[in-house]
């Protein structure tokens, strides 16, 4: 191989320097381009992250507002229930006081609940307004039977000579929850609980004519 002259060596060295410079320039351009792309990605990620944070914040605000509305509605419902209970207690106390006063003064007691709900007056109310007709003179007896478990009352009219056992059979025919053999009857006003021996007695004998309200349990 022919050795290079001094001039040729200088030329070769210069070419190498130029190639290295060109490579460095290309690499610098690529690095700048990559850095720019990375910066764009970071900015986009930052925007997306801020957007996610804002959406989460908005959802949290909606959730808190809904919770406050729910709590407010529940508070209003509770206040209404308390108010209704206070009114009911007040009415019950007034009715109790009226009944006690009527008992002290020997006046007839009216079952206001049965009059309001069914239009059937209590036995005492009927007795006070029957124009002096004695209960034993009524041929028929109108009864309203309420279940202790609640529900719609049953109304019927039976001959006054019918027995309490007949009433039990009537109620048992209306609902499967009542058995003739186990049902018991009570009267609110005046307060009275009928025994099994009373089942053989007539409505007239039991003082239920001409009209009465019974509780079946």
pLDDT digits (tens, 9 = 90+) for 99-143: 777 666 656 555 554 444 444 444 444 444 443 344 557 889 999
Q: Please determine, for residue 217, whether its predicted confidence score (pLDDT) is greater than 60.
A: yes
Domains in the chain: how many in total?
2
Q: Both 18 and 55 in a single domain? A: yes
Q: Do 103 and 11 share a domain, yes or no?
A: yes
Domain containing 39 equals 1-107
Same domain for 78 and 146, yes or no, is: no
For residues 80-94, give the mean pLDDT.
77
Residue 38 has pLDDT above 50, yes or no: yes
Domain boundary among 89, 107, 125: 107
Residues 100 and 161 in one domain: no
Q: Which residue has the higher pLDDT, 120 or 210?
A: 210
Which are the contacts of 157, defined by CB distance < 8 A and separation ≥ 6?
140, 141, 142, 143
Q: Are residues 67 and 164 in the same domain?
A: no
User: Quick one: 65 and 28 in the same domain?
Assistant: yes
Residues 135-164: pLDDT tens digits?
Answer: 557 889 999 999 988 888 899 999 999 999
How far apart are the C-alpha atoms of 145 and 21, rounded to whole Å?
Answer: 111
Per-residue pLDDT averaged across 76-102, rounded?
A: 77
pLDDT at 185: 94
Domain CATH for 209 = 3.10.20.90
* 148 in the same domain as 66: no
Residues 57 and 140 in one domain: no
Same-domain status, 85 and 49: yes
Q: What is the pLDDT of residue 162?
A: 92
Which of the given ranges, 27-36, 62-71, 119-128, has the highest pLDDT on average?
27-36
| H helix intervals, the chain | 6-105, 112-118, 123-128, 164-174
Which of these three, 88, 107, 126, is where a domain ends?
Answer: 107
Please name the helix (run of DSSP H) or strand (run of DSSP E) that holds residue 216, with its range, or none.
strand 211-216
Q: Indicate if the pLDDT at residue 187 is higher than 80.
A: yes
Same domain, 133 and 209: yes
End-to-end CA distance of the chain: 128
């Amino acid at each position: 191989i022919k050795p290079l002259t001094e001039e040729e060596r200088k030329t070769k060295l210069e070419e190498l320097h130029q190639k290295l410079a060109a490579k460095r320039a290309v690499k610098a351009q690529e690095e700048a381009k990559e850095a720019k792309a990375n910066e764009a990605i970071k900015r986009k990620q930052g925007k997306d992250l801020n957007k996610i944070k804002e959406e989460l914040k908005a959802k949290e605000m909606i959730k808190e507002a809904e919770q406050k509305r729910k709590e407010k509605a529940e508070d209003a419902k509770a206040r209404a229930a308390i108010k209704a209970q206070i009114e009911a207690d007040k009415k019950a106390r007034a009715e109790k006081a009226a009944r006690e006063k009527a008992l002290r003064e020997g006046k007839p007691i009216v079952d206001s609940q049965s009059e309001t709900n069914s239009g059937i007056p209590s036995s005492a109310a009927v007795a006070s307004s029957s124009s002096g007709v004695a209960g034993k003179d009524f041929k028929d007896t109108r009864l309203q039977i309420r279940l202790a478990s609640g529900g719609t009352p049953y109304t019927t009219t039976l001959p006054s000579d019918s027995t309490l056992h007949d009433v039990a059979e009537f109620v048992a025919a209306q609902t499967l929850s009542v058995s003739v053999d186990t049902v018991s009857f009570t009267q609110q006003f005046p307060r009275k609980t009928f025994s099994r021996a009373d089942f053989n007695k007539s409505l007239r004998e039991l003082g239920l004519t001409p009209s009465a309200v019974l509780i079946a349990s």
